[in-house]
Amino acid sequence: MRLEPEFPEADLVICNANIVTMDESRHIATAVAIKGDRLIAVGRDADVMCYKGPKTRVVDANKRLMIPGLNDTHIHLIRGGLNYNLELRWDGVPSLADALRMLKQQVDRTPPPQWVRVVGGWSEFQFKERRLPTLEEINRIAPDTPVFILHLYQRALLNKAALRAVGITKDTPDPPGGEIQRDSKGNPTGLLLAKPSATILYATLAKGPKLSHEDQLNSTRLFMREMNRFGVTSVIDAGGGNQNYPKDYQVFEELDKNGEITVRTAYNLFTQHPGDELDDFKTWISTTKPYTGSSYYRHNGGGEMLVYSAADYENFAEPRPILPAVMESDLYNVVRLLVQQRWPFRLHATYGEDITRFLNVFERVNKEVPFKDLRWILDHAETIREQDLERVIALGGSIAVQNRMAFQGEYFVERYGAEEAKHAPPVVKMLSHGLHVGVGTDATRVASYNPWVSLYWLITGKTLGGLRLYPSSNRVDRHQALRMYTAGNAWFSKEEDVKGQIRVGYYADISLLSDDFFCVSEEEIKRIESVLTVVGGKIVYGAREFARLSPPAPKASPSWSPINYYGGYYKAPHDGGGGGPWIHTPQHAHHCSHHHGSGFCDLDCFVF
């Protein structure tokens, strides 16, 4: 495992670790050596120390579990970064009482004309009260400051001040696919409903104040640091509505130029103009090419929205939308162009009925312009039909699933029944068919960006509210789940030869965990964080005994930002207050001893 015949001096050596390499050789490793942005040695402490020189920094891992950096194949990091400092996050908050207390405190410190906004990442089923806030509660807390609270892709709750700010009155008509709830006198109550289109929710949120360019730079850096806190070192950004290229990508381009990106980001381009989608892609094809850019920021193709007529909104509180007859021709024109230009693409695809129609289009295109070796993705696929899995394989496709069901599984069961929920999505069948199956979060407007919640969902089949959706036949073990989130996900950005494994020659993207993922109880998986995150050989985050190694976090701007008071993911009060980064107290300081020659034990613990 050493580079022969020389032992180049490493910049960084991390030793005394329990390493899960995700390298198929499964060799025993306790240390890594890093030079520049690459791993130059992986092995036992004594061997790796050959790379230690006078200037080498040596970090003792304290026998913590080391894994390849986590990689989310479907998240909205660029959009999230532009808005992170504006948002009060309820991700992980244990009770509605806590959430409303945070809301009240933030209302009191937010200056006019700014809003207080809670934009996804939570579910009422995570609260001990197991209910949503009421409009009366929100108006009592905030009589004058606009408040916008997004709940899944189902609804938004606006107080009276927010209704005034966005200009919704008794005379405002309902938009297509949306509803403005009204009282008996026809006045808007403050509840906006997706029926089933979420456009009413996005369009209303977009009317709020935005951060300045400098604040967006600060906000994006802090959001990436928050991702690093959970051990995330790579993502694929799936684009988004009102996220125009190249204007809304300038912040990321500037951070890349300055060497300040700490989460490798491959971005997809999401069409922006209903009815003119083909023109969008023709324009982008003339200016950019897939897989170009830097190792930290690179183009990854088209999607997840290719044409608006194919938008099958996953609002499980409402009936499945029936896509218009024009969808096939719209989609055909765009997909044919992308395949001709050898652009990889991805498509938002929730329902089996729609996926069947999408595949009809893809097969038609394939007869005229072969898909051969083109990487393309169906996203979400909660109710994909088994017979369509073979069609995806035949076209060389893949599927990326996210833990949206962990946040809204109860709504799915209420509408479609517990039996249908058992295979929504059919992850194990996808894997058994030999498909590349990516995993992620789809954060931040439905699910949280916390990858450990997604891993928990894959392993347990449970929602945040504790409802068991999946039988054991549709759940994966811990090793499989982690492999999907690391080595497996690298395929989706065509980087499987440089990341996702702790292996010589690969990017030095690694994480030391707060707790042993393979030994903690299932419920504790959700509470795992990173205590040391390295991206491209640089330490980008440290906590606990590694806090002194961490680069300092910038203060969030503007000064009243919720991030300065609560951070992102919830922090328990005994850890220093009612909000901010949630810090888990280790329950398992020991290392598993029940092991076999394969390196695995009957308790599902990975040891070396």
pLDDT in tens, 499-555: 999 999 999 999 999 999 999 999 999 999 999 999 999 999 999 999 999 999 999
Mean pLDDT over each residue of the chain, to the nearest integer: 93
Asked if 110 and 116 touch (Cβ cutoff 8 Å), the reply is yes
Which domains are delineated in the chain? 12-68+506-575 (2.30.40.10), 75-205 (3.10.310.70), 213-493 (3.20.20.140)
Q: Which residues pair with 158 in a beta bridge?
A: 148
CA geometry: angle 250, 253, 256, nearest 5 deg: 150
pLDDT in tens, 44-65: 999 999 999 999 999 999 999 9
Using the predicted structure, report yes or no on whether residue 606 has a pLDDT greater than 60: no
Rounded distance between C-alpha atoms, residue 463 and residue 467, angstroms: 5
Question: What is residue 589's predicted lDDT score, i.e. its pLDDT?
Answer: 36
Over residues 571-588, mean pLDDT: 45
What CA–CA distances, in Å, run from 144 to 103, 108, 116, 138?
13, 10, 11, 11
Quick one: tokens of 22? 């995700």
Using the predicted structure, report yes or no on whether residue 594 has a pLDDT greater than 70: no
CB within 8 A of 393, min separation 6: which ones? Answer: 433, 434, 435
Specify the 3-state DSSP secondary structure of 527: coil
Q: Which residues pair with 33 in a beta bridge?
A: 13, 41
Question: What is residue 573's predicted lDDT score, i.e. its pLDDT?
Answer: 66
The total of other beta-carbon atoms located within 10 Å of residue 333's CB is 17
Enclosing H/E stretch for 540: strand 538-542
pLDDT in tens, 391-450: 999 999 999 999 999 999 999 999 999 999 999 999 999 999 999 999 999 999 999 999
Asked if 506 and 499 touch (Cβ cutoff 8 Å), the reply is yes
Asked if 192 and 201 touch (Cβ cutoff 8 Å), the reply is yes
Question: What is residue 578's predicted lDDT score, i.e. its pLDDT?
Answer: 40
Question: What is residue 1's predicted lDDT score, i.e. its pLDDT?
Answer: 52
Quick one: tokens of 482? 């982690």
Quick one: tokens of 508? 């030095």
Question: What is residue 572's predicted lDDT score, i.e. its pLDDT?
Answer: 75
| Angle of helix 352-368 versus helix 386-394 axis, rounded to 10 | 20
Q: Which residues pair with 47 in a beta bridge?
A: none
pLDDT-derived band at 27, boundaries 50, 70, 90: confident
Question: What is residue 197's predicted lDDT score, i.e. its pLDDT?
Answer: 92
pLDDT-derived band at 25, boundaries 50, 70, 90: confident
Using the predicted structure, report yes or no on whether residue 479 has a pLDDT greater than 70: yes
Using the predicted structure, report yes or no on whether residue 585 has a pLDDT greater than 70: no
Using the predicted structure, report yes or no on whether residue 581 has a pLDDT greater than 70: no
Rounded distance between C-alpha atoms, residue 267 and residue 58, angstroms: 34
Specify the 3-state DSSP secondary structure of 575: helix
Higher pLDDT, 591 or 533: 533
pLDDT in tens, 88-126: 999 999 999 999 999 999 999 999 999 999 999 999 999
Task: Read off the amino acid at residue 394.
Answer: A
pTM greater than 0.85: yes
Specify the 3-state DSSP secondary structure of 269: strand
| Angle of helix 277-287 versus helix 327-340 axis, rounded to 10 | 10
Asked if 280 and 273 touch (Cβ cutoff 8 Å), the reply is yes
Instruction: Name the percent of the chain lying above pLDDT 90.
Output: 91
Using the predicted structure, report yes or no on whether residue 608 has a pLDDT greater than 60: no
Specify the 3-state DSSP secondary structure of 361: helix
Q: What is the dihedral of CA 29, 33, 38, 39, to 10 degrees?
A: -20
**CA-closest candidate to residue 398, choices 236, 177, 175, 172:** 236
Over residues 281-304, mean pLDDT: 98
Burial 495-532 (b: 16+ CB within 10 A, else e): bbebbbbbbbebbbbbbbbbbbbbbbeeebbbbbbbbb
Rounded distance between C-alpha atoms, residue 177 and residue 179, angstroms: 7
Question: What is the DSSP secondary structure assignment for residue 36, as one 8-state letter?
Answer: T
Rounded distance between C-alpha atoms, residue 150 and residue 146, angstroms: 13
Using the predicted structure, report yes or no on whether residue 232 has a pLDDT greater than 70: yes
Rounded distance between C-alpha atoms, residue 488 and residue 234, angstroms: 13
